[in-house]
Amino acid sequence: MGSESTMNDEEVFPEGEGPAPVIPDVWRVALRPHEDVRGRFVESFHQERFAAESGRLMTVRQVNYSVSRRGVVRGVHYFAGPGGQTKYVTCVSGEVLDVAVDLRVGSPTYGRWESVRMDASRPRAVHVPVGLGHAFVALSEEAVMLYLCDSPYVPGLERTVHPLDPELALPWSGDLAPTLSERDHAAPSLAEARADGLLPSHPS
């Protein structure tokens, strides 16, 4: 499956804000850094402005960050039912390739993905609703990802699909040896997760 977009030196989907071209439920945000002799200041999230531009209410109830070494792949993580987390993610240090995957059975974009290269020098964010999977790979020696979540994390509700599933064909670089957690390494493929009834349904 995968995306019809093609990778270039910069990113998979083009610069800009708004709904992503392949999966419109993914919302892109171009952050605007303010730089001076001291360095850089970035407003990573503004609730009212985001709601006005996207039409989406994002109430932040939990904030997380992860630190990953080069080649670490986190994901594909998702929530299938009530209690899941919508995520607003951005890279605040280093560089990553960030991926959102439509895992909703019945969706017209089921099994397809959006991907964007994120780095601290060109800050941007992606809003990933419940029902979509999220993953990234660290491209720099160390990368820090910030996650704003609309609900607290409930252990046991988060599920995972294998990030190296050839059916998904996610755009990981062949130059990197991927490092996965034990849970992600043991995750089912997309087809296995669907056959076992683990995937979310697309709202009709």
- Read out DSSP for 60-86? --EEEEEEEETTBEEEEEEE-STT---
The one catalytic residue in 46, 77, 134, 153 is 77
Helix, coil or strand: residue 102:
strand
Q: Is 147 a catalytic residue?
A: yes
Q: Is residue 51 part of a domain?
A: yes
| Overall domain count for the chain | 1
Q: Is 78 a catalytic residue?
A: no
pLDDT at residue 68, rounded to an integer:
98
| Cβ atoms of 176 and 141 closer than 8 Å | no
The one catalytic residue in 46, 147, 153, 162 is 147
Q: Is residue 65 part of a domain?
A: yes
Q: Is residue 11 part of a domain?
A: no
Please name every residue paired with 126 in a beta bridge, in sequence order, or none if there are none: 28, 89
Q: Is residue 60 part of a domain?
A: yes
pLDDT at residue 126, rounded to an integer:
96
pLDDT, one tens digit for every residue, the chain (204 residues): 655 433 333 334 445 688 999 999 999 998 988 899 999 899 999 999 999 999 999 999 999 999 999 999 999 999 988 889 999 999 999 999 999 999 999 999 999 999 999 998 889 999 999 999 999 999 999 999 999 999 999 988 999 999 999 999 999 988 999 999 999 999 999 999 999 999 999 986
Q: Is residue 10 part of a domain?
A: no
pLDDT at residue 77, rounded to an integer:
97
Q: Is residue 1 part of a domain?
A: no
Helix, coil or strand: residue 193:
helix
How far apart are the C-alpha atoms of 67 and 153, rounded to whole Å? Answer: 18
Q: Is residue 33 part of a domain?
A: yes
What is the residue range of 114's domain? 18-195
Tokens of residue 101, six digits: 């995957």
Give me the CATH number covering residue 51. 2.60.120.10
Number of H helices, E strands in the chain: 3, 13
Rounded to two decimals, the pTM is 0.90
Q: Is residue 140 part of a domain?
A: yes
